[in-house]
Amino acid sequence: MAANSHKKAGSPAPTLGVLVASSPERLAAAGVARMNLICQQGLGGSEELDISRTLNLIDQMATRVKAETQRHLYRFEGNRGEFENSEGFFRMVMMGVVLTEDFGIHYNPRQRTAPGESGPDDGFFADPQMVFLGGLLGPGRQGTCSSLPVLYVAVGRQLGYPLKLVTTKGHLFMRWEGGGERFNIEATGRGVNRFEDDYYRHWPFEISKAEEAAEGYLKSLSPAEELAVFLSIRGMCLRESGRLAEAAESFAAASRLSPGTQSYQQMADALGLKPGTERRSAGDKSASIQGNASHSKL
Dihedral angle sign, alpha carbons of residues 106, 109, 113, 115: positive
Query: Are the CB atoms for 144 and 119 separated by under 8 Å?
Result: no
Q: Check residue 189 and give its pLDDT.
A: 84
Among residues 159, 155, 212, 24, the alpha carbon closest in space to that of 174 is found at 155
DSSP letter string, 36-90: HHHHHTTSTT-TT--HHHHHHHHHHHHHHHHHHHHHTHHHHHH-GGGGTT-HHHH
Rounded to the nearest 10 degrees, the angle between the axes of helix 32-40 and helix 148-158 is 140
Q: What digits encode the pLDDT tens for the residues 45-101? A: 999 999 999 999 999 999 999 999 999 999 999 999 999 999 999 999 999 999 999
Distance CA 273, CA 262 (A): 15
pLDDT at 280: 42
Amino acid at 292: N
Phi (first) and psi of residue 107, to 5 degrees: -75, 140
- Residue 268's H or E segment, with its range, is helix 262-270
- What does the CA dihedral 153, 293, 237, 163 come to, rounded to 10 degrees? -10
How far is CA 134 from its chain centroid?
A: 12
Please give the pLDDT value at position 112.
59
Domain edges within the chain: 32-215
Q: How far apart, in whole angstroms, are the C-alpha atoms of residue 67 and residue 56? A: 17
Distance between CA atoms of 146 and 159, rounded to whole angstroms?
22
Report the CATH fold assignment for 32-215.
Answer: C8orf32 fold (3.10.620)
| Residues lower than pLDDT 70 in the chain | 1-13, 111-122, 273-298
d(CA 49, CA 41): 7
